[in-house]
Amino acid sequence: MTTTSNHSAPAAEFAGKTALVTGAASGIGLVVARRLAAEGAAVVVADYNEQGAKETAEAITAAGGRAAAVRVDVTDPESVRGAVDLTVETFGGLHLAVNNAGIAGASAPTGEYTVQDWQRVIDTNLNGVFYSLRYELPQILASGGGAVVNMSSILGTNGFAGSAAYSAAKHAVVGLTKTAAVEYAAQGVRVNAVAPGFIDTPLLKGGDDAQRQHLISLHPQGRLGTAEEVAELTLFLLSDRASFVNGSYHLVDGAYAAR
């Protein structure tokens, strides 16, 4: 006996949308890009690591999604402009952006932090987010509105010894997020920030086991977070399910900040 159903499969949440994700060759950015594509978005995978960006885009395409790769240096405004222009030229518009590219930077007390190391972290983690917003927002407006998630950090709330530049940049990303949200809310663009705790990604692979255990101990849940957990929150904020969530800063940190 053949049975039929009047219930069609639910439409992919981001069908018809185009997304740009920076820092998408690995870690959180990679998972976010793949999840967006799986939910129907056309995704531009942008990363300083051009080969890694291509591999992510190829994996998305192999899984049946739509993706393009572009090398981007978020410390260079013209490079960022080029990535945004490529997104619009390739897929016809821009609706969603995840400004995720970032570096850990050097570790040293504030009074010993070199100017060169400071500038490198600020250029990537703060200026890179500003340059991204600067060129994304006009295109999102031109496409009829959309949503942006800026990747801050738990160190956008807390201080952390040895991380003056990183913490300063991530605090500033929160202020930048709130300002852009106020400016563009009436025009149909939402801008929010996500604050991961310490996440088990390649960014943490340099430390030894004792350092890793110390980081784990800072999270009352007793473990590091996963990129998938950060992606889950990020996709919610990009979606219409979060239609009245705007200008806010969302922790995904295993109660790190609640201690």
Catalytic residue IDs: 166
Residue written as tokens 């969302």? 250
Q: CA–CA distance from 211 to each of 112, 193, 207, 214 (Å)?
A: 21, 27, 6, 5
* Measured distance CA(19)–CA(24) in Å, rounded: 12
Q: Which residues does 188 contact at the CB level (< 8 Å), separation at least 6? A: 141, 144, 145, 146
In the chain, where do the E strands start and end? 18-22, 42-47, 66-71, 96-99, 146-151, 189-196, 249-252
If you write DSSP's letter for every residue of 234-259 in order, what string do you get? Answer: HHHHHSGGGTT--S-EEEESTTGGG-
The arrangement of strands across the sheet holding 96-99 comes to: 66-71, 42-47, 18-22, 96-99, 146-151, 189-196, 249-252
Judged by DSSP in three states, 212 sits in helix
